[in-house]
């Protein structure tokens, strides 16, 4: 158990819909990262939050947004879903007490858009 | 940004064989990690190894930061070692850049 919790584990939804993925980081970790892994592809960085503030942005579509709340949990919102958004979405956390440390990943949310 | 390469892309082994996976990166890094993605998609931490050598059971890793590469050694491989092995480096605190992975298949 990595200590990073993602919900839900699986999600099936229709094109055009909106979904929210949730991530609870390891206790004490200030940074949360979101990654997308499409079928048989590598991990693509979407966005990083550090202690509630956006710190870095990757190849995140405008239809996607994220936020980190005061309790440090994070949500990734995906809207106007397309078939190509089907993927495994991972959340990771690191930076315990502001010191860059090992990153740990959650089990992922497998999103299927039909 | 930092570029990360891994080799070989695919590896097929007989159970009991040894293997070496390589990760090259284009710039100096503060953090390098090795992960194993199992067939169920879980990303499992293997090593946090910005420099030096570490061992954990049948697995060991060495990072030579000055030459910008890291090696993951798997000895006496087992079928449960199958999956994809990723290395990832810290991109100046902004994100972790992953290599494309090495897909390992261990045959019984």
- Residues A27-38: tens digit of each pLDDT: 989 999 999 999
Angle (nearest 5°) at CA A23 between A69 and A95: 75
> By CB neighbour count within 10 A (0-12 exposed, 13-18 middle, 19+ buried), where does A22 fall?
middle
B101 vs A contacts (CB less than 8 Å) = 42
What is the full per-residue pLDDT of chain B (108 aa) written as tens digits?
Answer: 889 999 999 999 999 999 999 999 998 888 899 999 998 999 999 999 999 999 999 999 999 999 999 999 999 999 999 999 999 998 777 788 999 999 999 999
- Which backbone phi and psi does A47 adopt, to 5 degrees? -165, 150
- Residues B11-41: tens digit of each pLDDT: 999 999 999 999 999 988 888 999 999 989 9
Q: Are B94 and A48 inside 8 Å of each other by CB?
A: yes
Assess contact for A5 and A92: CB atoms under 8 A: no
Q: Are B41 and A108 inside 8 Å of each other by CB?
A: yes
B10 vs chain A: nearest CA distance in angstroms?
Answer: 13
Q: Are A42 and B101 inside 8 Å of each other by CB?
A: yes
Assess contact for A81 and A56: CB atoms under 8 A: no
Flag whether pLDDT at A100 surpasses 70.
no
**CB distance from A88 to chain B under 8 Å?**
yes
């Amino acid at each position: 158990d990595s200590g990073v919790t993602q919900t839900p584990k699986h999600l099936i939804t229709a094109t055009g819909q909106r979904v929210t993925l949730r991530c609870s980081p390891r206790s004490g970790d200030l940074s949360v990262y979101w990654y997308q892994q499409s079928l048989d592809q590598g991990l693509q960085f979407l966005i990083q939050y550090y202690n509630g503030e956006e710190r870095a942005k990757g190849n995140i579509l405008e239809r996607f947004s994220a936020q980190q709340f005061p309790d440090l949990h994070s949500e990734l919102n995906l809207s106007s879903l397309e078939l190509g958004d089907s993927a495994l979405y991972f959340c990771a956390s690191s930076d315990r007490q502001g010191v860059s440390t090992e990153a740990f990943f959650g089990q992922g949310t497998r999103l299927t858009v039909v | 940004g930092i570029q990360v390469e891994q080799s070989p892309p695919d590896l097929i082994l007989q159970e009991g064989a040894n293997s070496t996976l390589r990760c090259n990166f284009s710039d100096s890094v503060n953090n390098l990690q090795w992960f194993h993605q199992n067939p169920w998609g879980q990303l499992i931490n293997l090593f946090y190894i910005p420099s030096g050598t570490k061992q954990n059971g049948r697995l060991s890793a060495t990072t030579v930061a000055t030459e910008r590469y890291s090696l993951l050694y798997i000895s006496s491989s087992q079928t449960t070692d199958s999956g994809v092995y990723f290395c990832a480096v810290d991109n100046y605190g902004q994100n972790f850049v992953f290599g494309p992975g090495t897909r390992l298949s261990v045959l019984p």
